[in-house]
Amino acid sequence: MPVPLKVRPGQALLAVSALLMGCGSAGYAVDSATSACRQNPLYCATVAGEEAVVPTAIRGGAEAATLWVLTRQTRSDIEQALVECVEWANAEVNLQRFGGKSPSREQCQEELPGTDPCGKKVTRAMQLGTEKHALALQCTETKLGALIPGRFSLEQRYRYDPQTGQKQLVSSEEARSLRQQGCGDELKGTIVPDVVIHSGNPLEVQAVYDFKFPCPFSNYPRWMEYGGRSSRGTPNQGDAYFNILRVGPDLVAPLWKIIRWTESQR
């Protein structure tokens, strides 16, 4: 039988802090690029937060611009942190709810009493997903805050402006105000990825990750389906992320770890 979730004061923070042990960041230097830049800096751009440089293509006399690059080593460190966070959150909630066991398919499909604020039924899987997301995001804020401070956003909402063809940031205050107008319907056409890695400007996106907690855990993690009913005009959540942010989003899930954009489309 499921048991009430009781997270002891400070428990989550202590567990997250423990996960930080051993985390670090190392730059990936490209010697040939460094050498070339010494000869002609015009054709190079400094990598944000790294000592390495990479050449930039200049065509038609266009001026060189600073290029913020997510190095392979830093990406690896980020993804290791994200996997640790989702696995910890999954284990923590399962411990509190089911004594450390994973919920069965029947438990996942169980409908809970009452409804959500919009009158929809809530299943055990939905409840568990919400709780695990909250802990995973808390963990992520701590770990990435130490690893790449100022270069990530959590649950940042974006809107696509068809008139300008540009993406826009939606502030938390605006999102909250729109929700109060009616169950978030006014937020159609916006997206909220769990984790966005950027140059320091959330509009300059370098990588996108979304947490998934399948219930039961053996289910293959998948993007939320929108189908023809979506105002985005895209078949699923991942496509919406890509169409607005122009970066292939990856999934992060317990057991499955990182599922690349191309793999998640299967």
> What are 96-108's pLDDT values in tens digits?
999 999 999 999 9
Amino acid 62: pLDDT: 38
H-run or E-run covering 154: strand 152-154
Amino acid 104: pLDDT: 96
Residue 57 maps to a domain:
no
Confidence of residue 191 (pLDDT cuts 50, 70, 90): very high
Give per-residue pLDDT as tens, 138-173. 999 999 999 999 999 999 999 988 888 899 999 888
Q: Residue 72 is encoded by which pair of tokens?
A: 């392979």
Residue 47 maps to a domain:
no
Name the domain count of the chain.
Answer: 1
Amino acid 186: pLDDT: 65
Residue 162 maps to a domain:
yes
Residue 48 maps to a domain:
no
Range of the domain at 93: 11-28+71-264
Residue 39 maps to a domain:
no
Residue 55 maps to a domain:
no
Residue 41 maps to a domain:
no
Residues 6+ apart with CB under 8 A from 30: 52, 53, 54
pLDDT at 110 over 50: yes
Indicate the SS3 state at residue 259: strand
pLDDT at 51 over 70: no
